[in-house]
Structure 1
Amino acid sequence: MRHEVDWLYGINMTRALTLSIKKAAGWFKIVSTGRVQGPSLSYVAQREKEINLFVPLPYWMIQVVAHHNKEELELEYFKKRIPTMSDGKAIVESLSGRTAIVDKISKRAVTQQPHPPFNLSSLQSEAYRHMGYTPSRTLALAQSLYLNSAISYPRTSSEQLPDTLDFKTILTGLSSMKDYATMAKTILKGPIKPIQGKKTDPAHPAIHPTGEKPAKKLTPSEKKLYDLIVRRFFSVFGDSLVKDHLRADIVCENHKLYTRGLQIQKMGWAEYYGPFFKTQEKALPDIKEGDSIHLTSVGAEEKHTLPPARFNPASLLKLLERENLGTKSTRSRIVDSVKSRGYTIGDNFELSTLG
């Protein structure tokens, strides 16, 4: 019934739009729409309107370079945005060439659990973020991997791996593959219990490798996506990542400055997620409370507020899922159609004249 309604809505509205443009503009082009495609383009158009109406406002950022025992430090001012140039100049004059004092050094431990297993939407988002694959390309590659017996059925909303799955057999199969042997064997030594997400799908579990060697040799693109899926699967069995957020608060009369650092105490699940885990340790400078720091360079850089970002394939896909528009199988095709039919320009979905 729903498919029939979608077809009737789409074909009639497409004809109406096409004839309207022909009558108004004097030229012919098929202008398609549909029950999901129409709202999708509407979101893009609304964002374009917000961008066009946006008026950038100037602000100033205070930039401070300091030295302590020949070590250079980059410090941040406690106010991210200074509203006027005169205020910025006043702060620069107050700090230039002065000596500041380290007031407090603090450490905050943060524990980060593994990400849940992939469903189709989260796989498409990660593949776009790390590899630039569009949602439809990711779905096509995942479907190919599925038909090649390498992964489970990809069209799923679930973020859960049921206990009925034989994790030990899957991990043993992956341990026979050169690229994954060490990681799989490590996981097999411990308790094999994956973290679970919130979303479920009564028909299919979360996306996971089967543990079987692909029936046919993978293409380079398939291999990259397969690696992402395998590493995400490994990571759900990992321990939590533990990191310390470090901060040194520095004062110069009534002005407050600070510098921050990050230390990873335990990699946990991120050790398996490898190239898809993006973070960088930053050591805190070798300073202690009460130390004097010389402010050697102080400046105020003019910046401007930025308009809302345009959609990209991953962010538009996520919006459609959140608004419950389309299905897990059709959303990527809808996202592609907004661009392929000339309604937007470029990967960042800039609205075209036709759109």
Structure 2
Amino acid sequence: ADWLVGMNLTRAFSVLAQQQGHQGVLSVGRVQTPTLALVVRRDQKIASFVPKPFWDVVANLQPQGGPFQAKWLPANANWLDEEGRCINQEAARTIAARCQSGQATLASVETLRKREGAPLVMDLGTLQQECSKRFGFGAQQVLDIAQSLYETHKATSYPRTDCRYLPTSMLSEIGAVVTALLHSDEKLSPVIDRLDQTLKSRVWNDSKITAHHGIIPTTAPCRIDRMSEEEFRVYDLIRRHYLAQFLHVHEYDQTDARLDLAGETFVASGRQVRVEGWKALFPRGKGKGQDGDDEEEEASGAQALPPLRQGESCTVVDLLVKDRQTQPPKPFAEGTLISAMKNAARFVTDERLRARLRESAGIGTEATRAGIIEILLKRGFIRKKGRTIVSTPVGQGLIAVLPPQISNPGMTALWEQALDQVAEGTMTLDDFMERQSVLLDKLIEIALQQPQLNLPEALSETCPKCQAKMRKRKSSNGPFWS
């Protein structure tokens, strides 16, 4: 099915483009094309984004226990946008002036003890996302390193896995893995001394195991002195996620306070760590939540609040009106693009299509996603800009003319689901191939009806001597017109 779609549509659109002066192949594929569409549409959103101003009123308060900040919560809906931000500058400045020299009273204080379990061990996609964000590594680079750690160094288990869980049969190997880690790196001794190898975290779950389990260190010691710096960084991330399973849950007190100040409501949130637990392994202010997403310490509610009690008075030290602006979406990096491919259903706006898709519906596999990004880079459809990935004019032009059936990530994810149905025996292979054949006929019909392709280089230069159209060609010295 992939071969039929890729071969026929690549040929159709490449010939169309060549007839209009564009040199080279316009490759079309069941996974690469919707991946390109994700990047193109993100870039379009960023380009068309118009920042809108809003205003925060922030009070610096001084109770008996120590200073903290609280933010004004506007009561008038006419002052708010759909995200609950104040868009009335005059109202914000009026409130700030009125509350400047008052006393705030704590109307309510609620503190809850929160417990956060250790992150699961790595699958390939999560490893690629983490290494992209932490170290700026490319997806293919991480796959190559993970493969080297598995094959050359014998340091970690099979990397091309989409599973973040471990089978209970491997509980018996915990001692051997931990011993091997200590033999490989004596600097781990303080961490290993704190481990409780009897802990059984949520990672041990036979029902979640797919073709392979999560990526973990092996039971054999390895030579970390023979690893490159990049290899060691990836290895270190893998072993930390394994060791985290044997440290206690991270516990903190989450406090939410509401204050009354001159008849206006101000709110403050904060947390105080009670048990560091597994987060001691991730010391850079970032850890993993239950859903695997990073929790930024500077995020809302991360200030350390002093002890507060209901009815207590707080002196207003000062009150600031902060000019803010809405921010455009961030461009993709390789890690976030891998994440978008894994969770294609998130980007589907069509309600009927969304209803047919599983929440976890993705495009591509753990083993192929890095290669797909490499293909798009090689074809010149996307390019790297620092740590981010942006689409090129050629990539944008291609997505503009392709039918949505081939560029929509949701449609492609539906194909993946249909393949699963064949594997489960709920759809026959003949039925699946028949559907592909019908779809392909439709797609080629659409391709043949395409008007002028709006691609750069398709509009060729004119020869200054004879005014004939010229074509851009490549040589060992670079491109030239002839």
**TM-score, length-scaled by structure 2:** 0.66
Aligned twin of 2:194 = 186
Equivalent of 2:374 in 321, 336, 352: 336
State the match for 1:239 in structure 2.
Answer: 248
The count of aligned residue pairs is 349
Structure 1 counterpart of 2:88: 84
* Counterpart-to-counterpart distance in 1, 2:308 and 2:163: 48
Q: 1:211 aligns with which of 211, 219, 233?
A: 219
Report which stretch shifted further, 44-53 or 262-271: 44-53
2:167 alignment counterpart: 162
* CA deviation profile, 1:92-127 (whole Å, cap 9, x unmatched): 222122222233332111111111121111111222
Of 320-329 and 302-311, the range deviating more from structure 2? 302-311
CA deviation map 1:121-162 (0-9, x unaligned): 111122222222222111111100001100000011122211
| Residue 141 of structure 2 corresponds to residue 112 of structure 1 | no
Structure 2 portions without partners, runs of 5+: 75-83, 288-294, 344-360, 396-482
1:314, CA displacement in angstroms? 1.6
2: CA distance between counterparts of 1:142 and 1:74? Answer: 44
Mean alpha-carbon deviation: is it higher for 87-96 or for 227-236? 87-96
C-alpha distance in 1 between matches for 2:248 and 2:255: 22
Q: Deviations over 1:288-315 (max 9, x none)?
A: 4444333243232332323333322122
Change (3 A) 1:40 1:292: same
SS state of the match for residue 94, structure 2? Answer: helix
Query: Distance in 1 between the 2:204 and 2:30 partners?
Result: 30
User: 1:99 aligned to 92, 100, 103, which one?
Assistant: 103
Q: Point out the more displaced range, 196-205 or 323-332.
A: 196-205
Matched, 1:144 2:148: yes
Instruction: Tell me if the contact between 1:120 and 1:154 (Cα under 8 Å) persists in the aligned partners.
Output: yes
Kept in 1: contact 2:121–2:165 (CA 8 A)? yes
For the pair 1:229 / 2:238, whether they are aligned, the reply is: yes
2:14 to 6, 14, 18: 18
Write the deviation string for residues 2-47 of structure 1: whole angstroms up to 9, x where unpaired.
xxx43443343333333323333x3413332222101111222222
How far residue 207 of structure 1 moved from its aligned partner, in angstroms, is 0.6
| Bigger Rg, structure 1 or 2 | 2
Give the distance between the partners of 2:277 and 2:267, measured in 1 at CA: 29
Name the amino acid aligned to 2:373: V
Q: In 1, distance between residues paired with 2:251 and 2:239? A: 22
Query: Deviation at 1:271?
Result: 2.5
For residues 27-83 of structure 1, what are the alpha-carbon distances to aligned partners after superposition, in whole Å with 9 as ceiling and x for unaligned? 413332222101111222222333344443322111323345695543211246212
Structure 1 alignment gaps of length 5 or more: none
Q: Aligned match of 1:348 in 388, 410, 416? A: 388
Given the alignment, which residue of 43, 46, 52 partners 1:51? Answer: 46
Name the SS of the counterpart of 2:215 in structure 1.
coil
Give secondary structure in 2 for the equivalent of 1:236: helix
- How far residue 286 of structure 1 moved from its aligned partner, in angstroms, is 5.7
SS at 1:34 equivalent: coil
TM-aligned CA distance change 1:247 to 1:36, over 3 Å = same
The alpha-carbon distance between structure 1 residues 27 and 154, as it changes in their structure 2 partners (threshold 3 A), is same
Q: Distance in 2 between matches of 1:338 and 1:269?
A: 39
> Aligned partners of 2:123, 2:64: CA distance in 1, in Å?
52
More displaced stretch, 337-346 vs 254-263: 337-346
SS in 1 for 2:272: strand
Opposite residue 257 of structure 1, the aligned amino acid is F
Contact 2:167 2:209 in 1 (8 A): no
Q: 1:197 to 1:91 in 2, by over 3 A?
A: farther
Q: Distance in 2 between matches of 1:49 and 1:133?
A: 25
Whether 1:129 aligns to 2:133 is yes
Quote the residue 1:284 is aligned against: 305
Give the 3 Å change call, closer, same or farther, for CA 73–182 of structure 1 in structure 2.
closer
Query: Is the deviation greater in 204-213 or in 149-158?
Result: 204-213
Q: Is residue 2:362 matched to residue 1:324?
A: yes
The alpha carbon displacement at 1:231 in A equals 0.6
CA contact (8 A) 2:167 2:204 kept: no
Q: Decide whether the 8 Å contact of 1:207 with 1:229 is kept in 2.
A: yes
| Residues 333, 389 of structure 2: 8 Å contact kept | yes
Q: Indicate the SS of the match to 1:91.
A: helix
1:250·1:256 contact (CA, 8 Å) conserved in 2? yes
Q: Which amino acid aligns with 1:161?
A: L
Residues 1:172 and 2:179 aligned together: yes
Q: Structure 2 counterpart of 1:130, which letter?
A: R
Equivalent pair of 2:129/2:335 in contact (CA under 8 Å): yes
Work out which of the residue numbers 268, 276, 279 in structure 2 matches 1:267.
276
1 CA distance for matches of 2:65 and 2:168? Answer: 58
Contact preservation (8 Å) 1:167, 1:192: no
Answer yes or no: is the 8 Å Cα contact 1:157–1:200 preserved in 2: no
**Alpha-carbon distance between aligned partners in 2 of 1:69 and 1:324, rounded to the nearest angstrom:** 53
Shift of residue 333, structure 1, vs aligned partner = 1.3
Q: Cα gap change, 1:184/1:70 in structure 2, threshold over 3 Å: closer, same or farther?
A: closer
Cα distance 1:184–1:67, how it changes in 2: closer, same or farther (>3 A)?
Answer: closer
8 Å CA contact retained: 1:158, 1:200 = yes
Partner SS for 2:364: coil
Report the aligned-residue RMSD.
2.6
Deviation at 1:331, TM superposition (A): 0.7
Find the residue that maps to 2:394 and give its secondary structure: coil
TM-score (norm 1): 0.87
Q: Structure 2 vs 1, CA of residues 47 and 66 (structure 1 numbering), >3 Å: closer, same or farther?
A: same
Q: Which residue of 2 aligns with 1:305?
A: 326
Structure 2 contact 251–274 (Cα < 8 Å) conserved: yes
CA contact (8 A) 1:100 1:294 kept: yes
